Amino acid sequence: MLNEDTVVLEIEVTRETAGELKALVAEHLWEPDEGLHMILGAGVGALTAESVREPRTEQENIIRLSQLLTRAEGRLAGVRFDLSEAKEALKRWELSNGAIRELTVSLEQMIRHQNQEIDELKSRLKQRDEEIERLRAQLGEELADERSNACFKSTLFRRRWIAL
126/107 Cα distance (integer angstroms): 28
Which DSSP symbol is given to 29? Answer: T
45 falls within a domain: no
49 falls within a domain: no
27 falls within a domain: no
Q: Is the pLDDT of residue 127 over 90?
A: yes
pLDDT band at 22 (very low <50, low <70, confident <90, very high): very high
112 falls within a domain: yes
Q: Is the pLDDT of residue 50 over 90?
A: no
State whether residue 10 is helix, strand or coil. coil
Across the chain, mean pLDDT equals: 82
3-state secondary structure string across 75-101: HHHHHHHHHHHHHHHHHHHHHHHHHHH
Confidence at residue 49, expressed as pLDDT on a 0 to 100 scale = 66
40 falls within a domain: no
pLDDT, tens digit (0-9, with 9 covering 90-100), for 58-91? 887 788 788 888 888 878 887 888 888 888 888 8
| CA distances in angstroms from 99 to 96, 104, 142, listed in the order given | 5, 8, 63
Predicted structure pTM score? 0.36
pLDDT, tens digit (0-9, with 9 covering 90-100), for 133-153? 999 999 888 888 777 766 666
99 falls within a domain: yes
79/75 Cα distance (integer angstroms): 6
Which residue range is the domain that position 93 belongs to? 54-132
159 falls within a domain: no
Instruction: Please tell me the total count of domains within the chain.
Output: 1
144 falls within a domain: no
